[in-house]
Amino acid sequence: MWYKKFGWTENVFSTRPNPNLVGLEKERGELGDSAESGRILWIIGKIGSGKTSLLLLLEDILKKTNKTPVILEGVDINTKEKFLSCFKRHRKLSEKILLRKYPKNLVALLDEGEKFPSEVTETLRTMWDKKEVFSIVIATTDTPLQNFSEAFRDRIGKTINLPTPTRGDLVEIIRKRVVDKNPFTSEAMIIIAENSSSPRRLLENCAEICRYCAEKDIKTIQKDTVNKYITKTRQEIPEKQKTPTKRAKLSPTQQRIADVIEKEVNTVGEIAKELNMNDAAVRTQVERMIKKGRVEIVSDERPKRYRLKN
């Protein structure tokens, strides 16, 4: 495992959303205050800018109050029935006994809000009007909310645009991930930050550079090594891939598979055993992840091995 060469027990640069955010202090405060006041909020940010992590942070905050936060992903909710069942599952036993349809003080946190069907968003608006939902937070890219009715959009009380992270913020993300086992020099971290367009891309770059250095048996990563790696990867990228493309969202099952692939559990059999799934189901999901451009084949020898693709 490449990460063990740096003294880590796992890939510390996992891109899985994490509520331990760096930066966005102002946005965190505004988000918490507005959700507590029962408003409808709209968070706008680029892919990988921390929208999902903000929702996870808000979920943690609201759980400590008398609110019931529920995170829903647009990529997974395709019917009104599935949407409502997600809320019902969060009822407490006492609420079920009292025959409450939905949890008290329900806060709906919509990740990838632009992907929810109009039927679902209109149902949510009606629930908010009836006070069945206390507050709503919608996280999207800068895509217009065409799947939300004009009546819904008119009810949005606050819009928060996530800023581009500073170089200092990105360097701090690296420091927080590596803690006291930092293989990077200060200059190396700055170069990585300057070549990363978002927090997610930063983490992906760090993981790839560390994997590269582990293969070369490099234990202290200096600026020259980082520059050499960046130059090498740019030369390897086909011209047609230099145009930025939108990263496809992974389903929860695919994210779990991605997490274990990061740990170098990278054959269908190994993944199936790790996640207690059958081989056929894993193979189907991996094929879909390849089509989404999130996974690639490392070796065609049997059994095939896979890795995450930048």
Domain identity same for 155 and 222: no
CATH classification of the domain holding 80? 3.40.50.300
Q: What is the pLDDT of residues 28-68, one digit of tens each?
A: 788 878 778 889 999 998 877 888 888 988 898 888 888 99
Determine, yes or no, domain membership for 206: yes
Domain identity same for 33 and 102: yes
Q: What is the pLDDT of residues 120-143, one digit of tens each?
A: 999 999 999 999 999 999 999 877
How do 40-44 and 156-161 pair as beta strands?
A: parallel
User: Does pTM top 0.85 for this prediction?
Assistant: no
CATH classification of the domain holding 173? 1.10.8
Asked if residue 66 lies in contact with residue 105, where contact means CB atoms within 8 angstroms, the answer is yes
Domain identity same for 126 and 34: yes
pLDDT, position 244: 46
Domain identity same for 185 and 156: no
Determine, yes or no, domain membership for 4: no
Paired tokens of 147: 């799947």
Determine, yes or no, domain membership for 100: yes
Domain identity same for 292 and 231: no
pLDDT, position 300: 60
Q: From 240, 275, 292, give the residue that closes a domain.
A: 240
Q: Which domain holds residue 55?
A: 25-161
CATH classification of the domain holding 271? 1.10.10.10
Domain identity same for 149 and 218: no
pLDDT, position 240: 43
- Low pLDDT (below 50) residues in the chain: 239-245
Total number of domains constituting the chain: 3
Q: From 95, 130, 161, give the residue that closes a domain.
A: 161
